[in-house]
Amino acid sequence: MRPKVIAHRGASHELAEHTLGAYLAALDAGAEGLECDVRLTADGHLVCVHDRNLRRTAHKRAVVSEMELAELSELDFASWKNPWADLDDEAPDIDPELGGVLTLRKLLETVAGLDRRVELAIETKHPTRYGGLVERRVVKLLREFGWTEKGSPARVMSFSWTALQRIKRAEPDLDVVMLMDSAQRWPVLKPTIGDDWLVGPGIRELREHPSLGKRLRKAGHRIHVWTVNTEEDLNLCLDLGVEAVITDRPAYLLELLDG
């Protein structure tokens, strides 16, 4: 069976990451899952933003955790992707709803309203001033949607072992993915993670450490790989039999797999 194609922050190669527009484009392309990063605002809302600060994606010197949702809603999260658009008379206007800050609730509502199963890979970012409150809010929201039981379309990912422990204590049946950005971490992680935990190595680590993928498979863990954007990297994942590939280019990978 081929790996599932998960859109990394939406169709983020073409459109601004974490915007509703990027996720809708990924869904239109046929993506089988959506990946997002989440952070807590000062008034307790989960928003889909990767960076701790807003300089890169909203051109503002501010920190997400110090702003309220209403303040974030006034910002443009899309124009950084195409900074010359205002000089192009033929460029379409950016719809504020498609290019503004996206809440996790809105993303879940979008997926829940589809007529096909689409999975969600939710990464909690750490360190953060709010600590375990992030995981508690994620679990609470998933419970509202009924997505904490076995077979749920949602799973929670993190580079933080402690964060995933919080998730499993709160909802033992919810899938978690232990992300890895270094092959050297695996000998330390292997004895500490649950047998049912998924493992999420970066594609660079799999390229640079050919034995890593084999060790993960031998340990019996399901594998989700990030961020897979080329045919060469996709073929490596196919050889390893990974369960899912997380990509900035969902349409391209789907064409390679099914076209």
Residue type, 145: F
Q: Which two tokens stand for residue 235?
A: 């073929």
| Residues pairing with 7 in the sheet | 34, 247
Taking alpha carbons only, the member of 108, 119, 125, 115 closest to residue 224 is 119
Rg of the chain over CA atoms, in angstroms? 18
Is the Cα dihedral 117, 103, 250, 208 positive or negative?
A: negative
Q: What angle separates helix 133-144 from helix 161-170, to the nearest 10 degrees?
A: 40
Which one is catalytic: 8, 13, 18, 224?
8
User: Would you call 224 a catalytic residue per the annotation?
Assistant: no
Which one is catalytic: 18, 45, 50, 59?
50
User: Would you call 8 a catalytic residue per the annotation?
Assistant: yes
Taking alpha carbons only, the member of 214, 158, 205 closest to residue 184 is 205
List, by residue number, the catalytic residues: 8, 50
